[in-house]
Amino acid sequence: MPAHLERARLLLATHRAAEAEREARAGLGEEPQSRELLHALCSALVEQEKWPEARATAQSLVALAPNWPDSFYMTTCVELEGKRYKLAEKAALEALRLAPNLVISHQNLAVCYMRQEFWGDALREAEAGLALDPENSGCANIRSFALNHFGRKIESMHSADSALRSNPENSRTHYTAGIVKLENGEPRQALEHFTEALRLDPNNELARKGLVEAMKAHNSLYRALLAYSFWMMRLSAGQRRAVIIAGVLGYNFVKNDSGLGMWASLICVVYFSFVMLTWVGSSFFDFLLLFDRRTRHALESRQRAGAVALVCCLVISALWFVVGVAGSVVDPFWALPILLYAIPLTRVFKNRDGWRRVTSYVVTVSLGLLLLGSLCLVATQTDQVLVLITLILLVIYMWVGRLLDI
């Protein structure tokens, strides 16, 4: 094996991606047509998360070695990272065509389907991979997720347990087992698995998030919320919208025309509280975790900031209400828009991607300025129209924001 290639591979194996990149490039200077060196270079770029370069290198690799499955495995990896799922799927299919008897071909394709939430296809490919290698943890994990999605909980747990028996020292396997346990209402066991996943790979971000969720799920109220979230996640995007719209229509019906009398008010309050909880529950329970030494540092800084922002909003709303009830200085009813403002405020700390994040910022800042101005007018008893408009906008945001997921 040429020296540069061997050194590059050794450097990759010992987590020295930058040096591996240099070695691979030096090797390519001498052997520009070496697919192995190009593959090593691409691996080094992927490990350093230099995605644009990695993508270009993967394309060069495919051009150089169009009949080599590894070219397409690398392309799949790069495209998945860029969330170009269709391109990743195409590359994975080509790899499968070239190497149908390699389990990794099926595993890669299963991952592509899983990311696109094509659970049936993901399950099929995972099982095809397991038929070739029953101990492949990647396929076992995907199978477990897919079965769980279809509500085949017992099979899902068996699949996760089987993967653990084969690969007890695998962080992802523990993560998968943790998710399955969490979704099936076993937070204590889920916590053990997430803890073990993090012990094996402290950089496993998914496991860290799972740990936080498992801690929050010790609370039965949060567990109920989580169950609802998992149920919603199993629905398609269209089905989710339908549930939300049905909820809004049902709420309006009960409030206005149902003839349920005082039960209507109770149902409306419960429904309204439930909706608020779906928006701000996670941040609220994040706040509770701030008091636990184990999980305080597991929270990301934005989670901590969101939690603190939420509680500030709740406290101000409560204070307004109490002051309003105690004296006649302010109308306690206007504590409601302050309470509702918690929704866009916490959302700002959750949204990460592109346009959603920008929209969230713009909406939150605009509504915040509007709220501040309107409350000043209310406090000075100058005007109440603006605060009413703000309240209406906040209510609209509750529904529209949920539909658009912003």
Q: Which residues bind other proteins (CB under 8 A)?
A: 3, 6-7, 10-11, 13-16, 19, 169, 195, 198-200, 202-203, 208, 293, 297-298
Closer of 10 and 325 to other proteins (Cβ): 10
Least distance from other proteins to the Cβ atom of residue 15, Å: 6
Closer of 19 and 121 to other proteins (Cβ): 19
Can you say whether residue 94 is alpha, beta or left, with left for phi > 0 and alpha for psi between -120 and 50 degrees?
alpha
Closer of 203 and 256 to other proteins (Cβ): 203
CA 320, CA 299: separation in Å to the nearest integer? 30
Closer of 10 and 270 to other proteins (Cβ): 10
Least distance from other proteins to the Cβ atom of residue 50, Å: 14
Least distance from other proteins to the Cβ atom of residue 336, Å: 40
Least distance from other proteins to the Cβ atom of residue 200, Å: 8
Closer of 74 and 343 to other proteins (Cβ): 74
Least distance from other proteins to the Cβ atom of residue 356, Å: 25
Least distance from other proteins to the Cβ atom of residue 310, Å: 24
Least distance from other proteins to the Cβ atom of residue 296, Å: 9
Closer of 6 and 186 to other proteins (Cβ): 6
Closer of 70 and 89 to other proteins (Cβ): 70
Least distance from other proteins to the Cβ atom of residue 298, Å: 7
Closer of 14 and 366 to other proteins (Cβ): 14
